[in-house]
Amino acid sequence: MEVAIFSSTPYERKFLDEANQSEHHALRYLDVLLDHDTAGLANGFGAVCIFVNDKADARALEALHRGGTRLVALRCTGFNNVDLEAAARLGMKVVRVVTYSPYSVAEFAVALLLAINRKVHRAYNRTRDSNFSLDGLIGFDLYGKTVAVVGTGKIGCVFAKIMLGFGCEVIGFDPYPSAEFKALGCRYAEPGEIGVKADIISLHCPLTPQTHHIINAGMLARAKPGALLINTSRGALIDTEAVIGALKSGQLGGLAIDVYEQEGSLFFRDLSNEIIQDDVMQRLVSFPNVIVTGHQAYLTREALTTICETTLQSVSAFERNEPLVNEVKAS
């Protein structure tokens, strides 16, 4: 089957080519984001493969449909960037990667936490300039601290298990409680408890209308002063302007994010020779207690292998008119 792969990168192509050795699809790599204006590049392709910042809204899907596309394959878990109702109306199927490596994202969240707490990013920059001063680099022991895990699915549970290994008390928030989370010895927080008790808040929930800006001005005002916030899930879980206000006031002790609400125009591109027009991002990176990475939490060999294999297996199942075990539909 002919598959147009939007937002492709050189490192992904290697893994996709390896996965395709057993699936035998015709892959066309495109280094542009999918939207209504670029959808025409997929004319004649029965399937398109997209990533987190591609925009598969109704207009883009209609353009794809006119060009002959009948399958949208997401090489990621989240599907908030796809208009599922429009896809259903057009008779287009949508599949995703339900799970790949929860360890990749959970371990990266821990890396961000350790780096922002112990000021590793600041120390690294100092020593490159032969500055070995320790002023301003004081962190705190993780042992005995309270960690709030927002979203207790597979990734959240792995993160919780690691935090338990540090000797933390782990509390959770999720409208769908997990038996696995409880079996670890963790518990779900009482109303308002996360704000009062949590020294660390780590986000591992999907982006839905209910979780949009779950971290907002009101929540931050109730947070424990000096708490650290980690986000490796979706950028729009955080109201960035509210977070900037909390950083300026000192209410929030530090922020480490691998995702950003407006990342579509920035991430996965080399902009080192350009003037960044995003003033909010520029303000974020100006804080000494903020770390921003470019959506790399999933980036391990194990995760990339599973993502690519699962995605192309779904394309093969569609081509053979077999059940799509990873299909996602409008609710």
Which of 295, 301, 320, 322 is flagged as catalytic?
Answer: 295
Q: Which residues of the chain have pLDDT under 50?
A: none
Report the pLDDT value the prediction gives residue 99, as an integer from 0 to 100.
87
CATH number of this structure's domain 102-292: 3.40.50.720
Phi, psi of 215 (to 5 degrees): -100, 105
Task: Let me know if 263 is a catalytic residue.
Answer: yes
Phi, psi of 174 (to 5 degrees): -170, 130
Report the pLDDT value the prediction gives residue 265, as an integer from 0 to 100.
87
Q: What is the pLDDT of residues 183-212, one digit of tens each?
A: 999 999 998 899 899 999 999 999 999 999
List the structure tokens of 7: 């937002």
Task: Let me know if 62 is a catalytic residue.
Answer: no
Which of 234, 241, 302, 327 is flagged as catalytic?
Answer: 234
CA atoms of 166 and 148, how far apart (whole Å): 14
Q: Mention every residue, 6+ apart, whose C-beta is less than 8 A from residue 236.
A: 80, 207, 212, 213, 261
Report the pLDDT value the prediction gives residue 126, as an integer from 0 to 100.
97
Asked, colleague to colleague, whether 2-100+300-319 and 102-292 share their fold, the answer is yes
CA atoms of 29 and 288, how far apart (whole Å): 38
List the structure tokens of 77: 């878990």
Task: Let me know if 234 is a catalytic residue.
Answer: yes
CATH number of this structure's domain 2-100+300-319: 3.40.50.720
- Burial letters 18-53, b for 16+ CB under 10 A, else e: ebbeebebebbbbeebbbbebbebbeebbbbbbbbb
Domain ranges (residues) in the chain: 2-100+300-319, 102-292
Report the pLDDT value the prediction gives residue 264, as an integer from 0 to 100.
87
Q: What is the pLDDT of residues 36-65, one digit of tens each?
A: 999 999 999 999 999 999 999 999 999 999
> 3-state SS string over the chain?
CEEEECCCCHHHHHHHHHHHCCCCCEEEECCCCCCCCCHHHHCCCCEEEECCCCCECHHHHHHHHHCCCCEEEECCCCCCCECHHHHHHHCCEEECCCCCCHHHHHHHHHHHHHHHHCCHHHHHHHHHCCCCCCCCCCCCCCCCCEEEEECCCHHHHHHHHHHHHCCCEEEEECCCCCHHHHHCCCEECCCCHHHHHCCEEEECCCCCCCCCCCECHHHHHHCCCCEEEEECCCHHHECHHHHHHHHHHCCEEEEEECCCCCHHHCCCCCCCCCCCCCHHHHHHHCCCCEEECCCCCCCCHHHHHHHHHHHHHHHHHHHCCCCCCCECCCC
Q: How distant is the alpha carbon of residue 42 from its chain centre?
A: 26
